[in-house]
Amino acid sequence: MTDELLFEVDGHVAVITINRPAKLNSMTPEMAYALEAAVAECNKSNTIRCVIVTGAGERAFCAGSDIRTLDDYATPWEFRNRGDYCDAIRLCLKPTIAAVNGYAFGGGLETAMSCDIRIASSNAQFAAPEIKLGWIGGGGMAVHLAHSVGPSNAALMIMTGDPISARQAKDWNLVSDVVPLPDLLDRAKTIASRAPIAAETAKINLKAAFSMPVEKAIEYERDLQTICFATADAAEGRAAFKEKRPPVFKRR
């Protein structure tokens, strides 16, 4: 691990903080490897129910890869096969929430889009600025933007590199909510109170919805529903409903 990437667990919530505020929380290869280790820890935990990714300070969520490190790769192939922080987030089995405070530029935007849910502070900005430097994003920029904001808006962001505000990101469905900065982490923790197996299954189901034909996706969803229905947590949910009390879920 590294001091430039913090990993904390508070109850059922894991918080991964990109901790390089003096450099707008830009990512180094060492930080990418630390993120992979943090995600592996979350995946094997029976207590963690959601994972929040955020940035240290108020200026930036993440400004993407530290450009100063990109010339350290000996060959283009070495660059192609580098450890990628967006890939690490997509491997997380638990629901992931990007708590976007400030700039989410380049790989920072891809980091946010690699999470299942994006909540933004009112001062957040989003951009795909790689084209201004001579390249394009490589961590899922085009596919995630196209699914989130539509083809024309995705083309506008990728081909101009210009930023959009948090409010515009909300209007374009890039983020789910915009809240004052002091409320950001509390807003992101909501999922931790939900049934954990159902939440993890919902994540699997949503991935399938984007890659399967409609009929197969519905069939798959019904199978996943049956698996959830057979859990002790589902029985607890039904009992709590009948007894008019909050459920106590145990991930069983």
Residue 14: pLDDT above 80?
yes
Please tell me what DSSP assigns to residue 230.
T
Over range 85-93, report the average pLDDT: 95
User: Which residues sit opposite 5 in a β-bridge?
Assistant: 2, 18
- C-alpha distances in Å from residue 198, one per residue of 94, 126, 160, 217, 237: 11, 31, 40, 17, 11
* Per-residue pLDDT tens over the stretch 107-134: 999 999 999 999 999 999 999 999 999 9
Q: State the catalytic residue, choosing from 30, 41, 78, 110.
A: 110
Residue 77: pLDDT above 90?
no
Answer yes or no: do 140 and 228 share one domain: no
Whose tokens are 């996706």? That residue is: 217
Question: Where on the phi/psi map is residue 211: left (φ > 0), alpha (ψ -120 to 50), or beta?
Answer: alpha
Nearest-CA neighbor of 137 among 99, 73, 84?
84
Q: Of 114-118, 162-166, 188-192, where does mean pLDDT reach its minimum?
A: 188-192
Q: State the catalytic residue, choosing from 130, 219, 221, 236.
A: 130
Answer yes or no: do 144 and 127 share one domain: yes
* Per-residue pLDDT tens over the stretch 32-60: 999 999 999 999 999 999 999 999 999 99
Q: Is 130 a catalytic residue?
A: yes
Answer yes or no: do 23 and 147 share one domain: yes
pLDDT number for residue 1: 64
Residue 39 lies in a domain: yes
Structural domain that includes position 203: 194-243
Question: Where on the phi/psi map is residue 87: left (φ > 0), alpha (ψ -120 to 50), or beta?
Answer: alpha
CATH code assigned at 23? 3.90.226.10
Answer yes or no: do 31 and 79 share one domain: yes
Q: 10 Å Cβ neighbour count for 71? A: 8
Query: pTM of the predicted model, to two decimals?
Result: 0.92
Residue 81: pLDDT above 90?
no
Q: Calculate the average pLDDT of the chain.
A: 94
Amino acid found at 115: C
Residue 250 lies in a domain: no
Q: Hey, is 140 helix, strand or coil?
A: coil
Residue 78 lies in a domain: yes
Residue 252 lies in a domain: no
Answer yes or no: do 162 and 229 share one domain: no
Answer yes or no: do 186 and 200 share one domain: no
Over range 189-215, report the average pLDDT: 93
CATH code assigned at 234? 1.10.12
* CA max distance for the chain: 64
Answer yes or no: do 81 and 165 share one domain: yes
Answer yes or no: do 185 and 209 share one domain: no
Q: What is the percentage of the chain residues whose pLDDT exceeds 70? A: 100
pLDDT number for residue 107: 95
Answer yes or no: do 226 and 114 share one domain: no
Residue 30 lies in a domain: yes
Q: Is 243 a catalytic residue?
A: no
- The total number of structural domains in the chain stands at 2
